[in-house]
Amino acid sequence: MGEHGSYKSSMVRAIASSFSKNVLILSKTCSTPEKIRAAVEAVAEPLTWRVGAAADGSPSPVSLADDLEANLVAGVDVAYRERGNAVNVTFEVDLERFDFARDKSTANKALAKWLAEGFEKPVIVSRRLSAFLKQVTPEDEVNDVMGKPERVRALLGIKPPHINKRAYLVGADVALLDEVTSNPRLVASLHTALNEGTVNFEGLGEAQVRPYLIAAAANPENRNYKTNIGIKNYASLDRFSFSALTTAPPAEEVAGGPGSIEEALRELERKPPVPVSILAKARRDTASVRIPEGALSWVDALLNAMDSCYFSTSTSKRAEKKSSPFLREHDCNLCVYKSTCMASMGAVSTTRAKIAIKEGAQALAYLDGESEVKQRHVVEAALVALPHRVNWSREMLDESGGDVYECTKTLLQRFYTLFTTKQVRDGLAKIASAGPGEISDVLAEVGDHHLLRSVADARSVYLQHHGKASSDAETMSDSQGQGSSEAQAAEEAQNGRGV
């Protein structure tokens, strides 16, 4: 998110140019549809080989041939080019994405198979990652962005129906959709792409979408921008793991001399790219970074509180159960829970926010060379996982001048102040020790305290499903003992580290 002229597209292009991949190019000229199909099947089989369990080279039960023929497989671009009465079929395979290329003997077996099938001698080339950058408009059709279907038989000749992926999002390694919120149809298609990793092309099937990075850009919450971040669907933004704030550089840094932004970007593009296999390995290794017990318990408490509304006035009966803050249509200032309510600052759906903070903390710890997540990593992850996915209250936006990153820092500071009070510490201890038949008594003791009530409700639901078994709620009070690390985390949040 950022103002115009803040080099969003240039930065994404620079990311793509910083990495390279090895691409295997296979080619064969075919004179009939049957021969085209045979060529596709010859390529598809080795792509399903797995080193180790299937090191003997036997294909997996699921054949890729149908999807490969229609050019629906991620990591492979299939091009059909007419040559007189024949068709040249070219397969470009990203070797990082397929297991057969990781083992020399398996790769040699695949090579021998393709040569025996009459393919031209395979070639391996190194390329920088491809970037798809699109300024989205309300008039854009989904196929203008995702991929171009070729399915009219009269125009295909002997070529099979397929999609063209080159220069479209489905075939890109890195993608940026600028002003994405201006096109609701495209946003709806992005839902499936980000959730399921697929895009449906009618009559052809579902194309796999596996870029190394998908980014979107939007302007900040501000009346001066017609496509700003306020005009959006929160369910859509929730699909993006993290967000960053961009600002336009000072005028003296713009012109292309030494020290300018343009010169810095050109210098980056002149450097030799790093093999993308390093990125792939880092992603695999990040998952092994350990998360100490209780390290995310305050995150659970915060997210539960921001996803719970108990609106009640001093003259009304207390709400018997929580409702969604996204549905609220009332003045939170009238609520008896106002002083301890996180949802009055902003509402958030818990699931993807928790996953993003967890995985972000692991990634930050990995980059710091740590084998275990520290509290500072959790805070830094929250600072980039929450800004774009929270439905901030008008009061918070006005207070911060529309800066959702300032909103996030304020949220964490206020939450920390509340979370570390004696009342909350004692309340969490009671909630953690309560059994299935005791939680209602604890709820009665909590009184008009929004944070404690939301934690108690979450504990009650847990006990209904798991009985007396331990849960994150039991580690929540233990995490209060991490006083020094929590204090350090709060201080870092106040200083804005990680934004």
Where in the chain are the domains? Answer: 8-12+131-248, 20-127, 252-266+274-286, 297-495
Give the rounded distance of the alpha carbon of 372 from its chain centre. Answer: 22
pTM for this model (two decimals):
0.84
Question: In the chain, what is the greatest distance between 2 CA atoms, to the nearest angstrom?
Answer: 84
Distance CA 334, CA 109 (A): 72
Residue 415: CB atoms within 10 Å: 22
Q: Amino acid identity, residue 109?
A: K
- Helix (H) / strand (E) element for 466: namely helix 450-466
Q: In a 10 Å sphere around its CB, with 0-12 CB exposed, 13-18 middle and 19+ buried, how is residue 381 labelled?
A: buried
Q: In a 10 Å sphere around its CB, with 0-12 CB exposed, 13-18 middle and 19+ buried, how is residue 110 labelled?
A: buried
Q: What are phi and psi of 92, to 5 degrees?
A: -115, 115
- The tens place of each residue's pLDDT in the chain, 499 residues long, gives 877 788 888 889 999 999 999 999 999 999 999 999 999 999 998 888 865 444 344 444 346 899 999 999 999 999 999 998 999 999 999 998 887 877 888 888 899 999 999 999 999 999 999 999 999 988 999 899 999 999 887 788 899 999 999 999 999 999 999 888 788 888 888 888 888 889 999 889 999 999 999 998 887 665 555 555 554 566 778 888 999 888 888 888 887 677 888 888 888 888 999 999 999 899 999 999 999 998 999 999 999 999 988 888 878 888 878 877 777 677 888 888 888 888 888 889 889 999 999 999 999 999 999 999 999 999 999 999 999 899 888 888 888 887 889 999 999 999 999 988 998 888 888 888 888 778 778 777 777 888 888 888 888 888 877 765 444 444 444 444 444 444 455 444 444 433 2
User: What dihedral angle (degrees, nearest 10) is formed by the CA atoms of 354, 358, 361, 367?
Assistant: -130
Q: Where are the beta strands (DSSP E) in 131-236?
A: 131-135, 148-150, 162-164, 174-178, 198-201, 205-208, 213-217
Pick the CATH number of 20-127 from 3.40.50.300, 3.10.290.20, 3.30.70.2750, 3.40.50.1000: 3.30.70.2750
Q: Where are the beta strands (DSSP E) in 318-420?
A: 346-347, 391-392
Q: Which of 141, 2, 385 is nearest to 377 (CA)?
A: 385
Q: Amino acid identity, residue 401?
A: G
The answer as to CATH 3.40.980.10 being correct for domain 8-12+131-248 is: no
What's the CA angle centered on 312, arms 308 and 314, to 5 degrees? Answer: 145
